[in-house]
Amino acid sequence: MLCGLPTLQTNLLRARTYSERMFRGERIGTLAIEPAREAFLRPLDGTGVRADPDLVAAVLEEVQGYAYFLQLWGWELWEVTVGSGLDLFTTDILNAIQPLIYDRLDEDFYAGRFDSLTPALQDLLLDSTRCRYPPLRTADLQRATKKSSGNTNVVLGRLADEGVIYRIQKGQYEYTAPKFHDYLQRRRKALRSD
């Protein structure tokens, strides 16, 4: 079994001719709305804890079908709701804890990806917050950074090698982590306020 970014199949073909005969590819991305709803609600079965439909809709919109985010939001809602002796997840509870969820997400999920990079790679990622996203377009990034176009392309290649972005087509990239652009905007804002 092999797993990787959406570019895996292309990379396998590049590495080994006829790899399509050796491997069966399945794309596993984010969950569609109904499987995401089930993944969020099923763990509540038999617990006596329920979720308000408005809360479910808000969580599903926020997590965009990303399984780890469903788990994180569910866990944090569970901890606060059950810890307070309540039996209903509500939007009021979500609104109260959402900043804490993002603080935890930033520390546990995003910071390691960012902090392990060289300063040049970090700088380009922070420059990318000035660009519309998705996708991240090379032309937009070259206008947003002080780096030369050649240097920008080299750094984009290094970011792809590090697994932070992947190329979806010539001149267009996406971040490998969902909502990473939002994290970078928060990180940039925090750096400016220091």
Given this model, what pLDDT does residue 12 score?
66
Q: What is the rounded distance in angstroms from the CA atom of residue 142 to the CA atom of residue 176?
A: 20
Per-domain residue ranges of the chain: 1-30, 33-114, 117-193
Given this model, what pLDDT does residue 193 score?
78
Multiple choice CATH, 117-193, 3.40.190.10, 3.40.140.10, 3.40.50.300, 1.10.10.10: 1.10.10.10
The two three-digit tokens of residue 20, written as one number: 């399509």
Strands (E), the chain: 50-51, 88-89, 136-137, 165-169, 172-175
Please say whether the beta carbons of 31 and 47 come within 8 A: no
pLDDT in tens, the chain (194 residues): 555 656 666 666 667 776 666 766 666 678 999 999 999 999 999 999 999 999 999 999 999 999 999 999 999 999 999 999 999 999 999 999 999 999 999 999 999 999 999 999 999 999 999 999 999 999 999 999 999 999 999 999 999 999 899 999 999 999 999 999 999 999 999 988 76
Q: How many CB atoms lie within 10 A of CB 70?
A: 23
Given this model, what pLDDT does residue 28 score?
67
Helix (H) or strand (E) holding 76: helix 67-83
The two three-digit tokens of residue 25, written as one number: 């590819």
- Nearest to 174, CA basis, from 145, 144, 134, 146: 134
